Chain A
Amino acid sequence: MTHRISVQEADFDATAELGRLAAGAGGVASFIGVVRGEVGGRALAAMRLEHYPGMTEKTLGRLADAAAARWELSGCTIIHRVGRLAPGQNIVLVATASRHRAAALAATAFLIDRLKTNAPFWKAEEYADGSVEWVAARDSDSDAAKAWS
């Protein structure tokens, strides 16, 4: 399996990324996370994302390897943006390719669930009223990640 891991400030071209994975595969499954426009009814001005350079790439590479060990994949792409992102902008792309749809769909869900709890990223929300709040980890994310073990 080939995998492509990238942590970057720049946006990604989802169409191009999925096209690259599709070559020679039976199908491609993907998840794209985008910045919300509001949280709990409060308008969001931006999301700030930071990470642990070095550890992040290593962790994402291991997650891709874990997915490949579990499902028959021909390719896997994980792109996560960092920096300051406006509502509607892309945050993350997870995509997998396989001869079988079930493998691609399951591997994609596994990767995004595990990424949320296992990769060293942190988000802060900048609200339209000027306040800034670091996002707290959610039990539901932790439960979703554990469900794959």
Chain B
Amino acid sequence: MRILYFAWLREKIGIGEEEFAPPADVTTPRALIDCLAQRGTAYTAAFATKALIRCAVDQEFCSLDTPFGAAREIAFFPPVTGG
């Protein structure tokens, strides 16, 4: 699975994207965050405040609690600020 990070999440983690195979029992973006947060101090810091994190599954905005099924791409980012 391709995981993407944007804005300050990308800066804190230090990369914009990576390949990651989540364990079989990780089925929602929220659980995936918990799983990624254990990968090191940069990840832990980036994901410290879940209330500030939004996600998109296969390029569609999604709740952190919606199961991602066989998604190929999940992106994590802060609330959008365009315009």
Contact = CB atoms under 8 A, between A and B. Distances in A.
Given A120-B56, A122-B6, A124-B7, A52 B79 contact: no
Given A116-B82, A122-B7, A55 B56 contact: yes
A127 to B, nearest CB: 16
Contacts of A134: 7-8, 78, 81
Contacts of A120: 6, 56, 75, 77, 80, 82
Contacts of B6: 50, 52, 120, 122
Contacts of A55: 56, 59-60, 75
B83 A33 contact: yes
A58 B73 CA distance: 15
A123 B82 contact: yes
Given A115-B82, A116-B80, 16 more contacts: A50-B7, A52-B4, A52-B6, A52-B75, A54-B59, A55-B56, A80-B83, A91-B83, A119-B83, A121-B82, A121-B83, A122-B82, A123-B81, A134-B78, A136-B81, A137-B81
